Amino acid sequence: MARMELESYRRTVYEIAQAIAPGWERQRARIEETVTPVRDWMVTELAPRSGDTVLELAAGAGDTGFEAAAIVGETGRLISTDVSPAMVEVAGRRGTALGLANVDYRVMDAEHIELEDDSVDGVLCRFGYMLVADPAAALSETRRVLRPGRRLALSVWGAPEGNPWITILARMLVKRGHMPPPKPSDPDPFSMASEERTRALLEGAGFATVRTEAVSVRFAYRDVDDFMSFANDTAGPLAMVIRGLSEGERQTITRQLGEAFAGFVADGGYRFPGVSLNAVAS
């Protein structure tokens, strides 16, 4: 992407995050139930210790970092960050509800981490690097602030074919002319789905040891309206498209989704598989 395109993309990401923050707060419990295997894997592989300082990038509602905060204890610290002030406020309310006193909440860009070199003992980033304009820069910044020998644990979405919960809707919106097809060079939920690309980015940033693992999740919806409501609240750029649809077009897409979802009927609703690509690096 050219420089001006990168800046435009960064502004768009910021605006979308600001717009969907209330929806993420509404759907927080449901999101966390769905991605529990991902969150558990990341915290386990990070292996935080009592007294550690842990940084979470693109924290959203903050729950992955909050699990680490409970482990590092009163003598440790979590720095919970997001580029969106609205998302940071969501995380702050969640942390307060949990009674966590060892968390600093900061607005921070993962491409420009405002911390000293070698200042944190662990970094978490769940579904963040894949969406930043320059993941190589973000990972280099992560390596810079991470103390030698300590770990980064990250998650990105795996291959599109393993994630029909989002690809069916995205392809339908493209087919119906509501959004352009993605360019191979553009950041999107699947821009780091390749193990080879993710490993190369990590090694290019200076991480000497990298291990990856696919982690399965499951998305459950009562019906198509439930799916659309969830997407409207949380699905980033797709949510912005959905919010701009006319009522007639929304009804047409809802009907077509019902037809496309026929192979995922289970337990009186719909059940979709999902797979993330997780990595731990040091």
- Tell me the three-class secondary structure of 27-65, residue by residue: HHHHHHHHCHHHHHHHHHHHCCCCCCEEEEECCCCCHHH
pLDDT of residue 184: 74
pLDDT, the chain, mean: 96
Per-residue H/E/C for 113-136: CCCCCCCEEEEEEECCHHHCCCHH
- What pLDDT score was predicted for residue 183? 79
Residue range 207-243, pLDDT digits in tens: 999 999 999 999 999 999 999 999 999 999 999 999 9
* Torsional sign, CA 29, 18, 192, 243: positive
**DSSP code for 138:** H
Instruction: Give the ranges where the chain is alpha helix by DSSP (H).
Output: 3-34, 36-46, 63-72, 85-98, 135-145, 164-175, 195-204, 224-234, 236-243, 247-260
Contact 147, 120 (CB under 8 A): yes
pLDDT digits (tens, 9 = 90+) for 154-182: 999 999 999 999 999 999 999 999 999 98
Alpha-carbon distances, residue 53 vs 102, 124, 176, 180, 227 (angstroms): 10, 11, 47, 42, 38
End-to-end CA distance of the chain: 29
Quote the CATH superfamily of domain 3-160+187-218+274-281: Vaccinia Virus protein VP39 (3.40.50.150)
What DSSP state is assigned to residue 102? S
- Per domain, the residue ranges of the chain are 3-160+187-218+274-281
Taking the C-alpha atoms of residue 175 and residue 46, their distance in angstroms, rounded to an integer, is 41
How far apart CA 242 and CA 235 sit, in angstroms, is 9
Q: Is the pTM of this model over 0.85?
A: yes
- Spans in the chain with pLDDT lower than 70: 1-2
